[in-house]
């Protein structure tokens, strides 16, 4: 959990590392001066298209990180963590969707992210998810997230 918080809103780990990597030199030169990795890899777009497998976005992501690293589940997981660290409650409806994702790790991280954002809406989403969740690890993550919403809202 502490690692998730330290990641901040970075989807690809250290974005600075991506910018200075010699493998990315060609693609970096093609970028417009103000364009950054965050402009190419949008957290909301990833979460919106998580259900479709992100085919539209994977080629541009792979340009930066390579095709072996650019796997939909990994990218969705990183976007969920970034959303949780954003302090932006507009991510809650998208995270509600990822809390129903087939992959249990994504569901668990989504619960953490919802709890991190906090508030009454987050608490309601977590309670709903807890009622349907069957995976014990995800249930535990939801319960921890619920504790977080109670601490932040007390």
Among 21-25, 40-44, 102-106, which is the least confidently predicted range? 21-25
Summarised one tens digit per residue, pLDDT across range 36-87 is 555 667 889 889 888 876 777 777 777 766 666 678 888 899 899 999 999 9
Residue bearing tokens 């976007």 = 79
Residue 151: count other Cβ atoms within 10 Å of its Cβ.
10
Pair of tokens at residue 132: 């349907």
Report whether pLDDT(119) > 60. Answer: yes
The answer to whether 18 and 37 are in contact (CB under 8 A) is: yes
Report pTM: 0.77
d(CA 15, CA 18): 5
Span 2-153 CATH architecture: Alpha Horseshoe (1.25)
**Spacing of C-alpha 3 from chain mean position:** 13
Every domain of the chain and the residues it spans: 2-153
């Amino acid at each position: 959990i502490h690692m998730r918080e330290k990641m901040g809103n970075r989807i690809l780990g250290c974005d600075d590392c991506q910018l200075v990597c010699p493998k990315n030199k060609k693609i970096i030169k093609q970028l417009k001066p103000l364009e950054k990795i965050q402009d190419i890899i949008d957290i909301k777009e990833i979460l919106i298209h998580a259900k479709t497998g992100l085919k539209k976005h994977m080629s541009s992501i792979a340009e930066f990180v390579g095709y072996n690293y650019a796997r939909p589940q990994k990218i969705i997981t990183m976007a969920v963590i970034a959303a949780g660290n954003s302090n932006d409650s507009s991510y809650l409806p998208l995270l509600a969707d990822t809390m129903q994702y087939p992959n249990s790790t994504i569901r668990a991280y989504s619960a953490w992210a919802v709890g991190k954002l906090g508030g009454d809406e987050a608490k309601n989403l977590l309670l709903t998810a807890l009622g349907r969740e069957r995976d014990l690890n995800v249930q535990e993550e939801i319960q921890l997230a619920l504790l977080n919403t109670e601490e932040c809202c007390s």
